[in-house]
Structure formats: structure tokens, C-alpha cells
Amino acid sequence: MDFVADGPTAIPLWMNGHAFLTVCDGFLDVMNPQTGVAIHRVPLAGTDEALQTVAAAQAAQPAWADLGLAARRVYLGKLADQLEEFSDHFATLLRNETGFDPVRANAEVCAALAALRGTSVGANGVAAIVVDATRPLAGLAEAMAPALMAGAALVIKPSPKAPSAAYALCELSARAEWPAGVLNLLQGDTAAVNGLCASEIDRLIFVGAPALGAQIAALAEAAGISFESWQQ
């Protein structure tokens, strides 16, 4: 959606199986690091939007868990098939937002595919996954796949510097006919993380650089939320 006539297109949130358009107090431009040009913008969501995305995950989680491991594995396989079909598109998204060269961008997509087709099983419940821009697709897939396999429903919050691949993955979950609410996306920065910490999630997972992970861990600890770090 365009918020100004001459501005870049905003990437919305994802909730209950569809794009969720919201007008927040502010927006952040997503820059192409190679050109210095703003290519997208993301809404800087806060507590209200965080609570809504978490509520969607909470509503969807029991039925997702009841499907059983074999059925959930099928859904993850369908998502991987969709990602493989659009692998070139995802590699382009990664190059435009991170400056990855083609080899690294393609490797990122391949790593995400391997994670979605893997067999690791994590913990159940409702979890939030915060991802930095280090490995915005592969890091996300590696953290979310075991949780989804275990029956968890998720709210993911990508880096506002590289949000497109995570959002496009949510779109592919709809193409793969995933149950609505199992996978949700919250845009934003620190206020969005604070909102997640104010919600009733079972745990907060961070994927990325240790320095930022320490800041996220402090927010989770202050809120009394279980924290898990996947350092990149």
C-alpha cells in the first residue's frame, strides 16, 4: 500500500492468513545498501499490533498442535516446495535489502529450504521469533521450522532493514494452504519487541548477532519471558 504518492510501497503485517494493513505512528525506509535508495518502508508497529498478532497465534495453536507431527511435516514440505519454486525471487529480495552477492543470496535460500525440509522438533506453545538482518531468511527458517514441527504457532518479527523475505514467506504459507494464524508477522523495531514482551507468549527466540541478542534478552528477562538465542 502507498502512504504517499511519491513514496515507496509499505510492506504490511501478516495476520490470520492475510496481509494486515495498519497505520502506525511512524514508518522506516528499507534501503538498498548498494544504491542508497529507499525501496520499501515498514510500519513501526507497537504494543497494539503485537497483541493482535499474538492473539491470532494463540487462537490457531491448539488446532495446529492437534494435527499431529506427520500432518505438520506435510505443511512444511508444501511451504518448502513453494519457496523452491520462487527461489530466484527470494534471492533477489535478499540481494536488494542486504547487499548479498548472488552466491550468498542463493546459499541463503538453499539453507532455508533445508531447514523447512528438516526433521528437528522444538518446543510447543506460542513463540515470537525476532530476526536481525544477518541471515534474514535462512536464520528465520532454521528457528521456525522446529517450533512449527512441534506444534507451536508463531509471530515473527523480521529486521526492519530486511523484511521482505519473511513477509514473502508468509505469503507462500497462504499459497500452501496453511491454517490461518499459525504464522504471523509483526513489522517494527524496539517498540514491537516491547509489545511482544507485554503479550502472553510462551517464549521469545532471537536469531542474529550476539550484541543485539543481549539487548533482546534483557527485554525478555525484564518481562519474565523465556528467552532463546540462535547466534549467527
Can you give the pTM of this predicted structure?
0.94
Q: Cell 521482505 identifies what position?
A: 164
For residue 102, the enclosing domain spans 13-231
| pLDDT of 1 above 50 | no
In a domain, 4, yes or no: no
Taking the CA atoms of 76, 82, 87 and 91 in sequence, report the sign of the dihedral they define: negative
pLDDT at 24 (0 to 100): 74
pLDDT tens track for 30-73: 999 989 899 999 999 999 999 999 999 999 999 999 999 999 99
Domain assignment present for 77: yes
> What is the pLDDT at residue 21?
78
If 0-12 CB within 10 Å is exposed, 13-18 middle and 19+ buried, where does residue 134 land?
A: middle
Structural domain contains residue 197: yes
What mean pLDDT do residues 128-151 have? 97
CATH number of the domain enclosing 199: 3.40.605.10
- Tens-place pLDDT, residues 80-120: 999 999 999 999 999 999 999 999 999 999 999 999 999 99
Domain count, the chain: 1
Do the domain assignments include residue 111?
yes
- Give whole-number Cα distances, 13 to 22, 110, 146, 199, 208, in Å: 8, 25, 23, 17, 21
C-alpha cell belonging to residue 229: 538465542
**Per residue in 162-182, pLDDT tens?**
999 999 999 999 999 999 999
How does pLDDT run across 5-33, given as a tens digit for each residue?
356 788 999 999 999 877 677 898 999 99
